[in-house]
Amino acid sequence: MSIPLGILLGCSIPFYFYTKASYDAIEQASLWVRTYFGAFYLYLGLACVLLLVAVACSRWGNYKLGKPDDKPAFNRLAWISMLYSAGMGAGILLRAVQEPVYMQQNPPLHIDAPAEIIALEFTFYQWGFTAWAFYAIFALAIGYAIFKRKLPVATSSSFARLFSEKKQNLAKRFSTGIDVLTIITTVFGLVAAVGLGASQIKGGLNHLLGYQLDYTVIILLVIVISILALFSALSGVEKGIKNISTLNIYLTVALLLFVLLQSDILTIFGQFFSAFYRYIIDFVPMSIALGNYDPGEAFLTDWTYYYWAFWLAWAPFTGIFIARISQGRTLREIIIGVLLIPSLGTFFWFSAFGTSSFQMIQEWGTYQGEFDNVFTSIFKFLEHYPLQAVVNGVVILLLVSFLVTSVDSAIYVLSMFTDKRPEPGKMHRTLWGVALMVFSVAIVLLGQARADSDVLTAMQKLLIITSLPLSLLLVLMIVLWLIDLWFWKSDTQKREQLTK
């Protein structure tokens, strides 16, 4: 734990003393990664989706993550709730209205289809199968190492086949480097998510109350979210994390039904099925930006490359958490559950909010950027529905709840890294919970002190930089995972013989 904390502290020093220069350097580096490796990310994403579909359809799909007689650790609702809360979370609230409307006003594809369908199709593409495929590959590869080969809970365990017993020193250095990179990326991602999530809550409160709240509100929100997440992590996966994740799903469905039942249901369903059909048939050309499905380098750099790099950066942390909660399920069930179910839920969510916002704009006759601000767009959207006080309260509660589940699952995963076991000790969980809170508050304070630089956005763009080595490691991980699949039964039989 001392190595990653030392690196995090070292990274914080230039942020404090050379904030503007640090921000500019991060911006340039993240742009370089997206420019020169963006196309690689596209092909990698397509390959991950196609590979998972092939595995699910093959005999390998029958293999179980764990022992053949293991039962699923969680029921299906709790399992889906936890993987969804860890994998997407508050982002669906942040972008529910803003992204579909942006895509409608600036259609990215040059195809013969209504702008509304193109907008939903491209939104599905950026939040759909590819993102979850990155998560699933990490989950299955690391899950094999943890549950089949009984290796420590760490990203590096999925690379164990690379090294023989004679190369233990090299293996240790390689493993340490991978695990430290994963820990740092997870911390940066959580700090950015908590800071931006708290900023959205503050933006919503500002909009609802009609005046600007003090910046200290963000700090208080960060502290409250961190404390709640720590208590949840200390309660364990079976209690705190599972219960809050299930609450998230109930609140999300309630908000979705509230909007759906007061909107044009037939149009929402019609556009959902039309956009989903086009997404399926256009998936391959969109995934390689081919011909009319190429939105242009500038658009890809600002949107798709950014998203792909972001999903890749979150994949180790989310993948390990998914692996932890998926013991006892077959590979086919995990792939279908991770790829299809969260994607379909997200697609219908964007269809309900996107279609309703399209109709609002049509009724207005002109669009003046009402939904351009990601922090306030959903609150402006809900102004056109009844029971605003109750509904906005649910949105605020859901934002807090999603952030809590992101942080508590991260605390749990970071603790598994440092404690090297699926059920980490409470001391590790406490230390990581406090460390994340302190680091998050420090970055928010730095953002206030350095108003000339967007520190939270810089933290997000650091993920773009760290996603590059992770994407290269993912290629190697895929190769080793396929070898693991090939030798799955023989490895199990050898271990059974050794235990007799």
Q: What is the pTM of this model?
A: 0.88
% of the chain beyond a pLDDT of 70 = 88
What pLDDT, in 10s, does the model give residues 7-21?
666 666 666 677 677
Return the pLDDT at 496.
46
What pLDDT, in 10s, does the model give residues 183-202?
887 787 777 777 777 877 88
Query: Which are the contacts of 397, defined by CB distance < 8 A and separation ≥ 6?
Result: 251
Return the pLDDT at 499.
45
CATH 1.10.760, domain 2-495, yes or no? no
Average pLDDT score, the chain:
83
> Distance between CA 41 and CA 312 in Å, rounded?
9
Contact 287, 380 (CB under 8 A): no
Average of pLDDT values for 374-397?
86
**Strand ranges inside 303-457, DSSP E:** none
Residue 234 has pLDDT above 70, yes or no: yes
- Confidence label for 268 from pLDDT (cuts 50, 70 and 90): very high
State whether residue 186 is helix, strand or coil: helix
Return the pLDDT at 422.
72
Query: Which are the contacts of 114, defined by CB distance < 8 A and separation ≥ 6?
Result: none
Long-range contacts of 417-420 (CB under 8 A, 24+ apart): 417/153, 417/154, 417/179, 417/182, 417/183, 418/1, 419/153, 420/152, 420/153, 420/154
Residue 88 has pLDDT above 60, yes or no: yes
Return the pLDDT at 4.
65
Return the pLDDT at 3.
66
- More confidently predicted of 163 and 390: 390
Average of pLDDT values for 39-48?
93
Residue 89 has pLDDT above 60, yes or no: yes
Average of pLDDT values for 136-142?
91
Residue 442 has pLDDT above 90, yes or no: no
Residue 443 has pLDDT above 80, yes or no: no
Average of pLDDT values for 360-377?
87
What pLDDT, in 10s, does the model give residues 58-75?
988 888 887 777 888 788
Domain regions of the chain by residue span: 2-495
Residue 167 has pLDDT above 60, yes or no: no
CA-only gyration radius of the chain, Å: 22
DSSP alpha helix (H) spans, 210-330: 216-235, 242-261, 265-281, 283-287, 297-302, 304-325
- More confidently predicted of 46 and 173: 46
Average of pLDDT values for 265-271?
95
Average of pLDDT values for 476-494?
75
Return the pLDDT at 1.
54
Return the pLDDT at 102.
95
Average of pLDDT values for 156-170?
68
- More confidently predicted of 310 and 333: 333
- Confidence label for 498 from pLDDT (cuts 50, 70 and 90): very low
User: What CA dihedral angle connects 401, 407, 412 and 416, to 10 degrees?
Assistant: 160
> Distance between CA 260 and CA 366 in Å, rounded?
24
Average of pLDDT values for 294-323?
86
